[in-house]
Amino acid sequence: MKDNIKILIVDDDLDAVELLTKRFRAEGYSTSEAYDGGQALQKVKEYKPDLIILDIMMPKVDGYEVSKSLKNYDETKHIPIIMLSAKAKIPDKVKGLDFGADDYITKPFDYRELSQRVKYWVAVKVGVEERLNRIQQLEKELIQSERLAAIGQTVASLAHYVKNILFGLKGGLYLANIAIKQNDTDSLKSSWDILENNMGRISDLVLDLVEYSKEREPEFEKCSPNKIADDVCELMKESAKEYDIEIVKNFTSSTDEIFLDPKAIHRCLLNLISNAIDACAFDVSEKEKWQITVSTNFKDDGAVIFQVSDNGLGMGEEVKSKLFTSFFSTKRGKGTGLGLLNTKKVVNEHGGTIDIESNPGKGSTFTITIPKRDLKG
Partner 1 sequence: MKKVLIVDDNPDVRKIVSKLIQVSGYKALVAKNGLEGMGMVKEDRPDLIILDVLMPKESGVRMYHELKTDDNFKEIPVIMLSGIPKKSFLKSQKVLDEFSGESAPEPYAYMEKPEEPEELVGLMKEILG
| Min dist. Cβ of residue 201 to partner 1 (A) | 9
With respect to partner 1, which residue has the nearer C-beta, 134 or 163?
163
- Number of residues counted as binding partner 1 (CB under 8 A): 27
| Min dist. Cβ of residue 217 to partner 1 (A) | 36
Alpha helix stretches (DSSP H) within 52-184:
63-72, 90-98, 111-181
Q: Point out which span in 86-94, 281-289, 335-343, 349-357 binds partner 1 (CB under 8 A).
A: 281-289
| Min dist. Cβ of residue 278 to partner 1 (A) | 8
| Min dist. Cβ of residue 147 to partner 1 (A) | 24
- Give the three-state DSSP class for 296: strand
| Min dist. Cβ of residue 287 to partner 1 (A) | 12
Angle between helices 262-281 and 225-242 (to 10 degrees): 30
Q: Point out which span in 31-39, 212-220, 278-286, 340-348 binds partner 1 (CB under 8 A).
A: 278-286
Applying the rule CB under 8 A, the residues between 218 and 257 that interact with partner 1 are 242-243
CB 351 within 8 A of CB 295: no
Q: Does 367 interact with partner 1 (rule: CB under 8 A)?
A: no
Residues 6 or more apart whose Cβ sits within 8 Å of residue 252: 225, 226, 295, 296, 297, 298
Query: Judged by CB under 8 A, which of 79, 269, 281, 346 binds partner 1?
Result: 281
Query: Judged by CB under 8 A, which of 332, 362, 372, 373 binds partner 1?
Result: 332
Give CA–CA dist 29/3, Å, rounded. Answer: 7
Residues 6 or more apart whose Cβ sits within 8 Å of residue 142: none
Beta bridge partners of 244: none
Applying the rule CB under 8 A, the residues between 160 and 189 that interact with partner 1 are 160, 163-164, 166-168, 170-175, 178, 187
Angle between helices 63-72 and 37-47 (to 10 degrees): 30
Q: Per-residue DSSP letters for 226-262?
A: HHHHHHHHHHHHHHHHHTTEEEEEE--S----EEE-H
| Min dist. Cβ of residue 189 to partner 1 (A) | 12
Q: Point out which span in 59-67, 73-81, 191-199, 298-306 binds partner 1 (CB under 8 A).
A: 191-199
- Give the three-state DSSP class for 318: helix
DSSP for residue 324: T
| Min dist. Cβ of residue 317 to partner 1 (A) | 23
- Give the three-state DSSP class for 309: strand
Binding site for partner 1 (CB under 8 A): 160, 163-164, 166-168, 170-175, 178, 187, 190-191, 194, 197-198, 242-243, 278, 281-282, 284, 331-332
